[in-house]
């Protein structure tokens, strides 16, 4: 390990790209929580609901253009054909880092350029307000839980660079169908978390509605494109998974059905081993 570190530190062709990957990771590490706090209207001097803004019509035009730019960058650069184009010009180990940096820049442009529309649709306190705020923080936690289950460091480009420039091992692909944890309940828990962050707010303005509706549209389109890629990658396994697990929000009926199936399998297994089921 020490020898590997010494080689990296004395070889600019390895140290430089590795530092770029760490910088991209740190940039995303700052950007993601700020995006979620901006969307929820928490603590920041400017949020989706508050801050200086233009008149209503120019504000709507600016916001729609910003949302379109954000969606094009996120979905466009995630397409396999675009990735193939990029890796002809950028080392494959840094392709994800480039995506993360560009996505983070798109987030900053969206948030800094956002024009609030302060007309209130609702503002509530008490139990309802508490439930809505709790929904936001549940979504916040779910975003991070989903990235950890998907291989956090791979998702943010650090694992690829570390393997390419430090260990010199082939990159461990993330092409493994994840069906554990929250993925047993929904196929896209990261998107579920984002939807909760975008829609759950005790104070909800017209600008917040435009934000939430626009990014929900992006999530639906992006998920449709992603699922095409997942079907192409995993085939029948993903089709079966998709037929059993909803996309964004758990189905109580499906959850209860799976629980009954697990109980039945446990009882069958106990009977085979000659064990008496409890009760």
Q: State the 10-residue block means of pLDDT for the chain, 279 residues long.
A: 71 91 97 97 96 97 97 89 93 95 98 97 95 97 91 91 85 69 92 97 97 96 90 92 93 61 50 51
SS3 label, residue 122? strand
Tokens 């740190």 sit on residue: 26
- Domain positions in the chain: 2-120+151-177+204-248
Distance CA 173, CA 160 (A): 9
Distance CA 166, CA 164 (A): 6
- Residue (of 110, 7, 119, 117) closest to 56 by Cα position: 117
Average pLDDT, the chain: 88
Distance CA 206, CA 162 (A): 44
- Token pair listed for 92: 């494959």
- Token pair listed for 272: 């085979």
Angle at 38 between CA 145 and CA 40, to 5 degrees: 70
Distance CA 263, CA 254 (A): 14
Please write the tens of the pLDDT for every residue from 78-133: 888 999 999 999 999 999 999 999 999 999 999 999 999 999 999 999 999 999 99
pLDDT on residue 266: 53
Q: What is the CA radius of gyration of the chain?
A: 22
């Amino acid at each position: 390990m020490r020898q590997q570190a010494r080689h990296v530190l004395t070889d600019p062709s390895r140290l430089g790209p590795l530092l770029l990957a760490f910088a991209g990771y740190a940039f995303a590490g700052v950007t993601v929580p700020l995006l979620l706090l901006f969307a929820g209207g928490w603590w920041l001097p400017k949020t989706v609901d508050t801050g200086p803004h233009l008149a209503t019509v120019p504000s709507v035009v600016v916001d729609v253009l910003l949302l379109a730019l954000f969606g094009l960058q996120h979905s466009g650069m995630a397409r396999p054909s675009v990735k193939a184009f990029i890796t002809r010009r950028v080392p494959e180990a840094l392709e994800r880092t480039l995506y993360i940096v560009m996505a983070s820049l798109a987030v900053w442009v969206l948030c800094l350029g956002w024009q609030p529309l302060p007309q209130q649709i609702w503002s509530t306190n008490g139990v309802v307000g508490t439930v809505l705020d709790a929904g936001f923080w549940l979504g916040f936690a779910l975003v991070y839980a989903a990235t950890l289950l998907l291989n956090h460091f791979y998702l943010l480009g650090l694992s690829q660079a570390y393997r390419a420039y430090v260990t010199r091992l082939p990159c461990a692909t993330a092409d493994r169908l994840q069906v554990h944890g929250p993925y047993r309940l929904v196929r896209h828990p990261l998107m579920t978390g984002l939807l909760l962050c975008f829609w759950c707010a005790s104070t909800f303005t017209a600008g917040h509605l435009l934000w939430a509706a626009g990014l929900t549209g992006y999530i639906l389109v992006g998920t449709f494109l992603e699922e095409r890629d997942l079907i192409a990658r995993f085939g029948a396994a993903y089709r079966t998974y998709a037929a059993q697990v909803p996309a964004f929000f758990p189905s109580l009926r499906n959850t209860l059905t799976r629980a009954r199936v697990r109980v039945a399998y446990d009882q069958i297994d106990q009977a085979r081993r000659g064990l008496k089921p409890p009760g």
